[in-house]
Amino acid sequence: MSMSLLKYLTLDTVTADLQGTAKQEIIENLLDILMKTGKVKNREAALAAVLDREKKMSTGMENGIAIPHGKTDAVDELVAAVGIMKNAVDFDALDKEPSRIFIMTLSSSQRTGPHIQFLKEISELLRSEDMRRKLLAARDPRGILQVLADNL
């Protein structure tokens, strides 16, 4: 497993207290975290890309994980955010279970490589029940990044 996940995540793009009670609200809150990086040039375009992707097929995976993502000209390079929720929320997941671990990525419409690599790595990492348990137990962004760093 490579270190590319950590290349895209910082204390500013990780939260242990993601808020929201519905899919759109959670997506918007993750997007607002990404907006703070200054790397998203157009919030509306980025939001439209993620919601458009959700319409095609929900990004609610299994085991309480959701990976909302989109490709947009609003970013020049891949940006990513991780949010852990205290309470699970229905995200229209494949296994019909609610989600608590959210990873959002936005990537340039022009470049597919980093996007696919990131999604592949995060999916592999989160297959581990131990890993998910540690992430859910993390109390703050530093703790979340530490869990990721320890397992890469």
Active-site pick, 69, 100, 115, 132: 69
| Contact predicate 121/96, CB 8 Å | no
Contacts of 2 (CB under 8 A, 6+ apart): 117, 121, 152
Alpha-helix residue ranges (DSSP H) falling in the chain: 4-8, 23-35, 43-56, 113-125, 129-137, 141-151
Rounded Cα–Cα distance for residues 132 and 129 (Å): 5
Catalytic site includes residue 69? yes
Rounded Cα–Cα distance for residues 69 and 16 (Å): 19
Structural Rg of the chain based on CA atoms = 14
Rounded Cα–Cα distance for residues 81 and 85 (Å): 13
Active-site positions?
A: 69
